[in-house]
Chain A
Amino acid sequence: MSVPPQAALRQVALRPVALRQEAMRRFRSNPAAVVSIILIAGIVVLSIAGPWFTPYGDDTLDWLHVATRPGLPQAHWFGTDRLGRDLFVRTLEGTRVSLAVGLVASAVSLLVGISYGAVAGYLGGRIDHLMMRIIEIISGLPLIFFVIFITVTFGRNIYILFLSIGAVAWLTMARIVRGQTMSIRRQEYIEAAVACGATPARIILRHVLPNLVGVVVVYATLSVPQVILFESFLSFLGLGIQEPNVSLGTLVADGAGELEAAPWILLIPGAFLALLMLCLNICGDGLRDALDVKEN
């Protein structure tokens, strides 16, 4: 920052800058983060609105054009797969499903992780010990085994997929929230709140959780790409989204089989997946830097 010190001082003196505004300003001054958030928005809009602009549905079979190259003439902009399905529509559909899985599973893990971590961290002592041992046991289970177990027991279903990914992803969140809560509960204002007659539930909701927003937001943005990647990985193995539904993972799995004859079937969904991953991660890093008050 090359603001002359006097100008900076005047700014501070004139108007105390709220943390949110300050964070926004810092996020905006990070070009990579801004570009990636624009790209994410573009992908989201495209994945929702894109299919309206082509005559094909995600399961329309075009027998005249099987495994055609991407190109404008046949109106198959991204080409077709070996069954003649339009790859443009399928890629966008897959992106939408992957994004939905990422958001919903992250939300589930957020909800469970925050409440679990905050309770463990605030109550402390034996309850905390017990709750943390449970987390260690769950995180000690092999992930894939766990997901296979759930899918086999409850059937292959997109909601079960949300649940099983969420069930694994909350562990880290809970650990992070617990650590933060433990450091906050030693602050004097928590003691003051107790002295004012506030109940533990109220203290957690009103005095502890709002302090965690920064950490939670950053971790959530970073967990969305992780979850998407995990979902794609499961779908690639055939454990996740099932045909005829698509996700980026199933598309990549399809394409991997046709790599020599029709590389675009792999490369196009692969590129979407990679771009989405990259943008979400850069965006999360940007948010972390913007919300980290101590750095400046």
Chain B
Amino acid sequence: MSTALEVADLCVSFTQRRARIDAVREVSLSIAQGECVAIVGESGSGKTQLFMAAMGLLPRNASAEGSVLFQGVELLRANRAALNRVRGSKLAMIFQDPMSALTPHLKVGTQLAEVLVRHAGISWRDAWHAATRMLERVHIGEERRRMQQYPHELSGGLRQRVMIAMSLLCAPSLVIADEPTASLDVTVQAQIMELLRSMRSEFGMALALISHDLGLVGGFADHILVMYAGRIIESRPAGHLLNEPRHPYTAELIRCIPRVSGTLPSRMATLPGQPPRPQESPPGCAFAPRCPRAAPRCRTERPVLLTRGAGAAACHFPLDS
């Protein structure tokens, strides 16, 4: 089996005060075994909801259509028992904010060992040992003491290491990392990304890295998907996407990455305007109002995601045409 996750025509919509809000629109993607795919987009582009739907974590007022296949199991229509067999063991998630993603009144060790007891069915004693070894592998330092500590006694970076250890406990085939470094210091951020990289080579799991920082994932992921207003607008191998973006939005994002070398610009590069509000759905390209290359056709006809070479882009006038 070569694909870890196969998403087809996934739509996620929310109903709020009788209004329908589309967060994810007709998204298809596949993540190969052992591959690292980064999903990049600004806030509200639907990148998180896409995976929340896959994990069965959507709030009550949300509904998902389409299909999410994980190792041949359809996750969208799975019942809770089937979902729980997969969640936490084969499909794990690292949350954005390690400050709040650990239960405050349970010891770190208890929380780690419990995952193993539940999923691997081993004794508490063995689980505790395995959890200690896992903390050692994520280079937390003093792992025996850490096991006995409560989450509030650890720093943000250590807690994120605990989260990573927790996600890896059952040797998952896919780990979803939802902005794993968003709430950390820049120096810690680099350490955590380095840890994820080494864990990936050690465990060989596929990684879905959700981020808003193209610069961060650029040197990390094999494949990058760019989302805008609930749709994938460009999906290409990382090197290609960064060096010669096809979609103007991707190009603008790359232009906005601050650079350390060369002369400093007097102002940071920005992309003017706002993404469309999720409750409205303009007939044309969602990016047209902010696009420097927009033509009348862009406002009336929505571009489809066209595959060409090793990637795909949804634009009438791609940059490399």
**Is B88 touching A191 in the complex (CB atoms < 8 A)?**
no
0/1 string, B111-147, CB within 8 A of A gives 1: 0001100110000000000000000000000000000
Which B residues lie within 8 Å of A207 (CB)?
A: 103, 106
**Is A189 touching B101 in the complex (CB atoms < 8 A)?**
yes
Comparing A142-150, A195-203, A267-275, the segment that makes contact with chain B is: A195-203
Closest chain B residue to A207, Cβ basis:
B103
Does B85 lie at the interface of the complex (its beta carbon under 8 Å from any beta carbon of A)?
yes
Which B residues lie within 8 Å of A210 (CB)?
A: 105-106
- A195-B87 contact, Cβ under 8 Å, with A188-B95, A189-B104: yes
Closest chain B residue to A16, Cβ basis:
B153
Docked Cα-Cα span, A199 to B81, in Å, equals: 8
Binding site for B on A (CB under 8 A): 16, 124-125, 187-189, 191-199, 206-207, 210-211
Distance (Å) between the CB of A214 and the closest chain B CB?
A: 11
Which B residues lie within 8 Å of A198 (CB)?
A: 84, 88, 118
Interface residues of B in 77-100 (CB under 8 A from A): 80, 83-89, 92-93, 95-97, 100
Closest chain B residue to A210, Cβ basis:
B105
**Is B80 touching A196 in the complex (CB atoms < 8 A)?**
no
Closest 10 CB pairs of A and B: A197-B88, A196-B88, A197-B87, A197-B84, A188-B100, A192-B101, A195-B93, A189-B103, A188-B101, A210-B105
Distance (Å) between the CB of A220 and the closest chain B CB?
A: 19
Which A residues lie within 8 Å of B85 (CB)?
A: 197
Of the candidates A125, A192, A195, A199, the one whose C-beta lies within 8 Å of that of B60 is A125
Docked Cα-Cα span, A191 to B93, in Å, equals: 10
Closest chain A residue to B81, Cβ basis:
A199
Which A residues lie within 8 Å of B106 (CB)?
A: 206-207, 210
Closest chain B residue to A188, Cβ basis:
B100
In the complex, 6 of the A-B residue pairs with CB atoms within 8 angstroms, ordered by the A residue number, are: A187-B100, A195-B55, A195-B93, A196-B115, A197-B84, A206-B103
**Is B60 touching A197 in the complex (CB atoms < 8 A)?**
no
Of the candidates B57, B86, B105, the one whose C-beta lies within 8 Å of that of A191 is B57
**Is A199 touching B84 in the complex (CB atoms < 8 A)?**
yes
Distance (Å) between the CB of B128 and the closest chain A CB?
A: 17
Distance (Å) between the CB of A89 and the closest chain B CB?
A: 46
Which B residues lie within 8 Å of A191 (CB)?
A: 57, 95, 101
**Is B57 touching A195 in the complex (CB atoms < 8 A)?**
yes
Of the candidates A16, A189, A199, A206, the one whose C-beta lies within 8 Å of that of B100 is A189
**Is B101 touching A196 in the complex (CB atoms < 8 A)?**
no
0/1 string, B132-170, CB within 8 A of A gives 1: 000000000000000000000100000000010010000
Does B102 lie at the interface of the complex (its beta carbon under 8 Å from any beta carbon of A)?
yes
Docked Cα-Cα span, A73 to B85, in Å, equals: 78
Total number of B residues with any Cβ neighbor in A under 8 Å: 31
Q: Which of B97, B103, B119 is the most central at the interface, judged by chain A CB atoms within 10 Å of its CB? A: B103
Closest chain A residue to B118, Cβ basis:
A197
**Is B95 touching A192 in the complex (CB atoms < 8 A)?**
yes
Which B residues lie within 8 Å of A189 (CB)?
A: 100-104
Closest chain A residue to B86, Cβ basis:
A197
Docked Cα-Cα span, A229 to B100, in Å, equals: 42
Docked Cα-Cα span, A189 to B56, in Å, equals: 15
Docked Cα-Cα span, A210 to B114, in Å, equals: 16
Contacts A189-B100, A191-B101, A197-B89 known; list 7 others, CB within 8 Å.
A124-B60, A188-B95, A189-B102, A192-B95, A196-B166, A199-B80, A206-B106
Closest chain A residue to B151, Cβ basis:
A189
Distance (Å) between the CB of B201 and the closest chain A CB?
A: 24
Which B residues lie within 8 Å of A197 (CB)?
A: 83-89, 115, 118-119
Distance (Å) between the CB of B242 and the closest chain A CB?
A: 31
Which A residues lie within 8 Å of B118 (CB)?
A: 196-198
Distance (Å) between the CB of A84 and the closest chain B CB?
A: 57
Distance (Å) between the CB of B95 and the closest chain A CB?
A: 6
Docked Cα-Cα span, A207 to B89, in Å, equals: 19
Distance (Å) between the CB of B90 and the closest chain A CB?
A: 10
Docked Cα-Cα span, A125 to B59, in Å, equals: 11
Distance (Å) between the CB of A207 and the closest chain B CB?
A: 5
Distance (Å) between the CB of A208 and the closest chain B CB?
A: 10
Docked Cα-Cα span, A125 to B106, in Å, equals: 28
Which A residues lie within 8 Å of B115 (CB)?
A: 196-197
Distance (Å) between the CB of A188 and the closest chain B CB?
A: 4
Closest chain A residue to B90, Cβ basis:
A197
Docked Cα-Cα span, A188 to B104, in Å, equals: 11
Docked Cα-Cα span, A210 to B105, in Å, equals: 7
Distance (Å) between the CB of A296 and the closest chain B CB?
A: 15
**Is A196 touching B87 in the complex (CB atoms < 8 A)?**
yes
Q: Which of A192, A207, A211 is the most central at the interface, judged by chain B CB atoms within 10 Å of its CB? A: A192
Docked Cα-Cα span, A214 to B319, in Å, equals: 61
Distance (Å) between the CB of A13 and the closest chain B CB?
A: 12
Closest chain B residue to A126, Cβ basis:
B60
Docked Cα-Cα span, A53 to B93, in Å, equals: 67
**Is A211 touching B87 in the complex (CB atoms < 8 A)?**
no
